[in-house]
Structure 1
Amino acid sequence: MLRKLSLAVLLPLCMLTLYLVLVIGEYLFESDQVRAELAQRQSTLIKQQLFRMQNVVQSAQALQDVERIEQEVSLAALDMGTMVYILVDADSRIRFANHTVWRDSNAMQVIDGYDATRDRAVVQAFLPQILVNLERLTIQAYYPVLPQYGGAVDLIYLEADLAPLVAEASAKLQQRFMRVWGLGGLLLIGFTFILYFLLIRPFQILSEAAKQVGTSSFSTSIPWSSSEVLSLQASLQQVHERLSRAVKQLNDSELRWLFAVEGSRNGIWDWDISTGEVFLSDRWKEMIGYAPDELAGVFQTWEARLHPDDRDIVLDALQEYVSGKSKEFESVHRLRHREGHYVWVLDRGMLVDWDPQGRPTRMIGIHMDVSESAKNHAAINELVDQSVTGRKMLPDVFMARLSQFLTQGNSSGQWGSLLLVEVDRLGLVATLNSHELERLLTQVAARLSSYFTENITVGRLESGDFVLLAKDLAIDASVAARRALALASELRQVIARPFHYGHHHFELSANVGICLLDSIETLDPALVMRRAELATLSAKRPGQAGCAFYHAEMDLRQSRDEQLQQELQTALQQDSMTLMFQPVMNAHSELVSAEVLTRWYRTDGEFIPPAEFVALAEQGGMIAELDFWVANRVCQFIQTSHAQGWSLPTLTLNISAFSFGQADFVDALIALVKEHGIAPHQLGIELNEAALLMQPQFVAERVSKLVDAGIGIVLDHFGSGSSALSCLANQPLVAVKLDMSCIDSLAAMPQRVKALIVSAQQFNLHVVAKGVESPQHYQAFVEFGCDGYQGYLFSRALNQADFIQLVCPRPLLRSV
């Protein structure tokens, strides 16, 4: 009830109630105070009178002047309005009194308020007592007298009435409060009227105006009021203006959205998960041959039209997304057309609403026709229709368009570009079978073809990579290059969005090579493709961020790279490469392990840096062969050392992520270890994060085999900027090696280095500092708590003979 009261009623009522409570409280307080003051004043007067009477009685008794005592008693009783005034002896017998009938009677029998016990206590202590009883409005006084002879008076007892005085004072108090109440009431009424016009009425006006915010009838007219109310009025006016603009923008956005949906020719669906109702747009129905007024708006309408081969996969992907197991729902599947054939669509949806318990209640998505796309009709048909075992080549329609663009040019004189997209499929081959891999690449192609504009043609190569022809980028070459680079970055972001296939979730990465195309220059399509391939190889190199342009020096570099790859293959076959050993020491300068390094000198003596020949091995597909060659040589060295009686520390090999991703590399490595009889923990491998962040099932299987074989795993380049704690938490590592960049961070950001070390030690992992070349480096890493140290301060990389001498000093060798 109170919640519905108007402020105009509630506020005055509260003020009146508060005023009455304050006034009544003040009156009661002052009334009690008046009574207390009257009692105190009368007590003082009585005490003075009794003190005088005490002296009179004592002197009169000494002279035996009874008449004087009687006169004094009579006068005292009359002056103070006393109710009872008596003088008693030791037996409580009344000797003198203001009432003659009481004389010679026992005080206890004739006087109600008299207390013989208190009488004796006062006489014995010879201390007077004056008692105030505010309930009876009386004062009782016991005043002792020194008796002069037996039977003489020894106590004066007095009982006075306060009622007349209290009544008189209360009357005066009431009169005063009536005047105060009346004046206060008038002021309260006046204040209430002022409050009503200054506050309540403006609030009523604003309340009514608030109901009309955003409408044409909104109006606030407050001629004058407090600054706060006027500020609220201005704020409400601003809200009205913003809401009006927002409503207009919302209407405009709705119109634009409708235009965008119709313009994109994509189907829209809106699924109420709790009821099963589904809104299907006209375009959605048109895709599968139905009119706008056909098809029921229920979930079964979509479910029943799924291709039998796609049904389980699509429904599983949808269920995983709705249940929160996957981050997004995206699927390429087939829907049955009204005429009986199937249409390929890219279906993408997103949850937009949840109930209070956190359960999803609404999902909105789009359908895109990727089999009948106007811009890539033939290319996508070629992509989708080809079987796993069938022919895979660049679609003829794409080659025709590329050749036409290169030979005929562009009448507008604008530059174009060819972008070769190489999807990183490391680990996919081991996780998916050939059919599943093909379906995944089909999803990639569908996403690309549905994402880009009519100005871009998408095709797919025999190797499974994708190629895009972008036309009409710009007339100026530098502008065209910037737009091509932006397109390449966008390509990598589109591919990086998670893919879901069955129970697998993939986060792919890609490298993009860019070849700019001048409309004036006539080039052979095969040459353009070759240039794009060279740019893609360059995009894989560190510092390229996955994108690179073709330039003429790549041809020269490619010639040298091809020659070096041939020589590297020969060096592996002839065992002409060299192994080096980099010692790892502990804080006591004791050798605990060694990292095996590979060095390559060409026949002419030129030294090829490891980073260069490893990159060449990866590009030429020889990296697994190189890593296995190193492992074989190290196993032979361990076996020979054991036969000679030399006790070697743990030797660790650098294994490329590409080798680790090969289907049979780990099995072959374990077989090699068993063949040479290598003891557990005698051999270890060093992997970077890329190898450990591939598909979990794929990594777990290989890591488990290595651990079972006694091969320890070390995470290399920890702290390079991309290391994730998931590698430390989820993998059975034995140690981590800090990245060389930590040396530079010692001076600039020592707290970063310390945080890396502490994070690894939280998982009970040994931490090895690399690149320790000065005592200052060593001291800093010691303070941070590193367990091992590797660098030129302790030893350079040693050849086999020098390493044996370090492990087994020469006197021991002579004895052997």
Structure 2
Amino acid sequence: MARQPKAFRDGKFWEQALDRAQLGLWDWDLQSGTCFYSATWARMLGYSQEELAQGSDLWLKLAHPEDRDQAVESGDRHLAGATDIIETEMRLRHKDGHWVWVLDRGGVVERDSEGNPTRMVGVQTDISKQKEAEHDLGQVNARFRLALTASGTGIWHHDFETQKSYWDARSRAIYGFVGEEGAVPDGLWETFLHPEDREMAEITHQIPRQAHDVVAVRYRIIRADGVVRHVESLLQFMPVSNEAGQMIGTVRDVTLEEERQQELAFAARHDGLTGLLNRTAFDAMLAEAITKPANLPLAVFYIDLDYFKALNDFAGHAAGDAALRAIAASIRGVLPKGAQAARLGGDEFAVLATHCENGEFLAQLILDAIRHTELRQNAGPRKLGASIGAAIVHDPKMAAADALACADDACYAAKASGRNTVSVFASQDPNYTSGLNAARIASDTMDALDEGRLKLFGQEIHHLGRPWTDAPHAEVLARLEGRDGQMIMPGTFIPAAERFGMAPKLDRWIFRTALSRHSAAMRENGLVLSFNLSAQTLSDPGLWDFADTTITETGAPYENVVFEITETASVTNFEAAERFVIQARERRCKISLDDFGAGLSSFDYLRRFPVDSIKINGSFVEHMAENKFDREIVSAINGVAKSLGYRVIAERIEKPEGLALLQGMGVDCGQGFLLHRPEPLDALVARAAGRTATAKDPLAVQPA
């Protein structure tokens, strides 16, 4: 072992100092070639001093292969006089095999008479934790740079001390600025600001020096090539010791986001087929317009196309959609300045015109425009017409729903007088009250949702010839309890809800409430529930998001949910209905085509829609025992459906003779008062689960 230097033989103090500082000392005698390594150096690598054969090349044997050349070069450069000291980082192998990062510092301490170095001394410090922290920081920075690159975000800062700004390459690219690296010219940013956004953007960037919050701002810029872009900046003041501080910021091109938001905002207010306002936007605009006396008198027009269903049946839905678009353009083309048109749904439109004294004159202009609309060649020989109802509003306190109800009522009067004509609401005429009544019923229906006056009922659907409890299936129905305690039947409040655009909310309430209360019976007892969907609900783009969320949250099985859609609902928006059917089947929900046979295109829909079952319209079933025509229709429908693999359900079974005929034909299922009268859904589900309902609904209709 090499001779211990005198300083260590005589100075225990220095050994203690090295130990406390956790420094490993080396002492290299260049003349003898021996090198001493302190006990602290050995312990740093997991050894005792006696375990190491000390020599000038010991550290080389323990050094990482990738670090040796660099460390040797550092020593050679110092010995050659190129550097004042040796300073290098390297890895040494620990006794247990892992690598220890050390910082090596030292240099020549003795020379001979000719100035040649004879002795070098140095210390090595364990910097493994520091290197680990640097590695972790490097990983964070790498992820940060990757995130910035992926998000297209640029970084800039402004130094208040020097009044200079610095943009990174991404920031320069966003602004389209090509220039030398380094500080950007003073005032450059302001030259890019859009004139309409300049003041707002400049004020937002003037953050108080004492503020620490991050400020977000969006504004437009005009690049050098003339292209307008939307950008978003995040700003924060960063204090710096002994300096005025800096403004740190990011910039991101959000043009596509802004355009998408504008598209979504437009879509939320406009009908996707015609580009006119939708029902929601029109109702809001009407409500606001009425409250401003400067707009009065204003005219509200309710427009219902005549013979549109016949056009759909004859020429198909593509021709129907084309006709709706053409008619929307015709209506828009004759409106005075400031007037707005909307498509309320299906083939119904509305128009609002302020400062309108002569509503009948404008209504006639609209009617003439519709009559003369050029339709596609395959649309058939008949031109479309319209029944138009007009209501003139003079009272700023009139409710928007009442104004539209008056126009709607006038539209019904126009239809009653022979169609393809105009009718103006007359408040003194006692016959013009049904629209207001319908509006009040629709409003009361929505109130009933919050007040618990809407009741869920159910009617059993039977597999003919089998006990209902073997395969429990029920159609979910709704009953409305009036404020006076009297029951209002669905034939009254559901059309009113549809008339005023409230059907989707009603359908959603029924669906969510039924599944929330009875999903357990659906899972455990195989209960199948059927739900009717209105045309407005089918056209709701958010319907499946709602349905998926409800089914997932309640745990109801998808395959135990049946959606019933009618031909009328399908005609209103065929594409929406077709898309809904496909999405339902993808989720294993069942689809039943309701009221089958009532329309001219029933078999066409059977061919187009991949349904699971059809429900034969009850008008053919209830008198089939006495009416041969009805029997033949039912038999034909059953035969076609069976050949296509669809289950057949007969509605409105009220007589034993009819039931016997249906069973003889091999009809699968049936529904009607003979089999079961609607009862509160809670009681029906309790029977399906083999229980007795604990409480009866006061509106209950006892089963037959």
Where is the helix percentage greater, Structure 1 or Structure 2? 1
TM-score range, shorter chain: 0.3 to 0.5
